[in-house]
Amino acid sequence: MFSLQNFYSIFEQFLSYFPEKLHGLISIFLAILLVIGVYKVIRRQLVYLILLIILLPAAGPILQNVWEQILDLLRFLVSKQ
């Protein structure tokens, strides 16, 4: 099962390859890439996302949980400045 703790440890290991001074820049760069990727997916699939929310009432809490996980991930990446 995927958890953010696994991601955090992998990200810390990834950052260890770079000098300490660059950790903040790398984290911000990866956060920006994540936001751009999510935007591109949502922009392309917006109609399907709207249909999913309308047709599947349980999708609201699921999407809220996904959004919270993405925000937690972004906060983690930005906090590495």
In a domain, 58, yes or no: yes
Q: How many domains does the chain have?
A: 1
Where does the pLDDT of residue 80 fall: very low under 50, low under 70, confident under 90, or very high at 90 and above? Answer: low
Where does the pLDDT of residue 1 fall: very low under 50, low under 70, confident under 90, or very high at 90 and above? Answer: low
Q: Is there a contact between 13 and 23 (Cβ–Cβ < 8 Å)?
A: no
Q: Tens digit of pLDDT for each residue in 23-66?
A: 888 888 888 888 898 888 778 777 777 777 777 777 677 778 88
CA distance 55 to 67: 19
Where does the pLDDT of residue 2 fall: very low under 50, low under 70, confident under 90, or very high at 90 and above? Answer: low
In a domain, 46, yes or no: yes
In a domain, 40, yes or no: yes
Which structural domain range is residue 38 located in?
A: 21-78
